[in-house]
Amino acid sequence: MHNTVFEKLQNDDPEIRKTKILEALESEDLSVSFDDALENEMVLNMGPQHPATHGVLRLLVSLDGETIRKVVPDLGYLHRGYEKLAEATSFHEFIPHTDRLDYLQPIANNVAYTIAVEKLIHLEVPERGKYIRTICSELGRIQSHLIAYGTMVMDIGALTPFLWAMREREKILDIYDILTGVRFTTSYTRIGGVAQDITDEAIAGIKKFIDEFPKYLKEMRDIIERNKIFIVRTEGIGYISKEDLIDYGITGPILRAGGVNRDLRKDDPYLVYDKLDFDVPVYNDSDCLARYYVRIEEMIQSIRILHQCLEKMPSGAYNANNPKKVLPKKERVYTKMEELIQDFMIINFGVNPPVGESYSAVESSKGELGFYIKSDGKGNPFRLKIHSPSFCNLQILPLLMKNCMISDVVVIIGSVDPVMGEADK
């Protein structure tokens, strides 16, 4: 086969014949031919320290030439035993640990966890607290989707949009700095509300961000969406059927890119999502490109939600008025005896929910993030099970990658957008 190509080249252009590379190819020293290499199956180990695997995901890939025959994911390199730790910490003490689950959107995890605990102890948060939490969740969603967008296109080879995405994400971190006092691991929520009220400065920062962000998002889309390389490398790659998605219990953008309209914000509204007007983007192609579009459109919807939240947010209390369950304000703890006793009791003995169990789930940026809590009446959970979307979504990797090329692996991982902190718990 090669000979015919070279002969053709030789006949067409005598100049090429003289180039060094063709001479090297024509020489007899090159004993390995393509046909030999294709006959052998090769097992390739990707990770856990591979830059494109988004953390410490390890994949064992069985290759036939460049085509993937089988993939076996290997998890557990970031297993820290958070479910075991939770059993030894009080309900409040576990909030900082939730930051480390899905570390791309720590603030949204804080919200998800406290909602679960409040459901267990039947505590209602005031309206303002709910609005603040909704703002936090949506900022977290944008933060996470920006990383998903940036790393996915970077894996394809476009470095500039990644830097733009990081620049926008940095602005969100600056908002967290004002809102929570911390840029990254926020630990912002408390059982019954949030750590501190949202200030005018933070509101101004969010307003500025949501006014500017659509312009920058359009820039990011313009550079990518009409780029032929991007389209060719994502369209039709990583296809999975709708039936398989449902059978594997997949949630989040991957499910919505497969034509299933399931969003807990609409189906089972928590916080104030039932009072807000937003759409759920659904695509039917179920490939990497569709997942990309779902995430981009979700960011646009998040901006819409943030606009409405800032408009509708009432004034008033942001923490529930229940001294036995909710931590008092710090300045009052230092000056008032009653508050000091409450603080001491909650910190030392916990919130002591009634005996029973509870499951609560929210729609995080990756899918359904749920917490199953079983309580025996003590201050720490008897059992806390984290239903992490990244873990469930990773299960379909072998299906997505089957019969793809080796270069598609990084694109597919980018489109699934796993976070190993959450998958490994």
Q: Does 119 bind another protein (CB under 8 A)?
A: yes
Among 23, 201, 219, 267, binds another protein (CB under 8 A): 267
Cα separation, 111 vs 115, in Å, equals 6
Binding residues for another protein restricted to 29-58, rule: CB under 8 A: none
Binding residues for another protein restricted to 335-364, rule: CB under 8 A: 356-359
Other residues' Cβ atoms within 10 Å of the Cβ of residue 41: 11
Nearest distance from C-beta of residue 71 to another protein, angstroms: 14
Cα separation, 201 vs 204, in Å, equals 5
Question: Which residue pairs from 252-255 have beta carbons closer than 8 angstroms and sit at least 24 positions apart in sequence?
Answer: 252/363, 252/364, 252/365, 252/366, 252/367, 252/368, 252/389, 252/393, 253/291, 253/294, 253/295, 253/298, 253/365, 253/366, 253/367, 253/417, 254/291, 254/367, 254/393, 254/396, 254/415, 254/416, 255/367
Beta carbons of 271 and 134 less than 8 angstroms apart: yes
Q: Does 248 bind another protein (CB under 8 A)?
A: yes
**Candidate ranges 48-56, 191-199, 249-257, 323-331; the one touching another protein (CB under 8 A):** 249-257
Q: Does 395 bind another protein (CB under 8 A)?
A: yes
Q: Does 216 bind another protein (CB under 8 A)?
A: no
Nearest distance from C-beta of residue 21 to another protein, angstroms: 46
Beta carbons of 281 and 294 less than 8 angstroms apart: yes
Smaller CB separation from another protein, 219 or 247: 247
Cis peptide before 48 (omega within 30 of 0): yes
- Closest by Cα among 412, 404, 393 to 287: 412
Q: Does 372 bind another protein (CB under 8 A)?
A: yes
Q: Does 368 bind another protein (CB under 8 A)?
A: yes
Q: Does 280 bind another protein (CB under 8 A)?
A: no
- Closest by Cα among 114, 107, 102, 125 to 177: 107
Among 57, 250, 409, 410, binds another protein (CB under 8 A): 250
Nearest distance from C-beta of residue 364 to another protein, angstroms: 14
Tokens of residue 382, six digits: 């008897």
Other residues' Cβ atoms within 10 Å of the Cβ of residue 344: 11
Q: Does 71 bind another protein (CB under 8 A)?
A: no
**Window 228-247: contact mask with another protein (x via CB under 8 A):** ----------------x-xx
Beta carbons of 258 and 242 less than 8 angstroms apart: yes
Among 22, 52, 85, 340, binds another protein (CB under 8 A): 85
List interacting residues with another protein (CB under 8 A): 75-76, 79, 81, 83-85, 87-88, 119-120, 244, 246-251, 260, 262, 267-268, 356-359, 368, 370, 372, 374, 383, 385, 387, 391-392, 394-395, 424-425
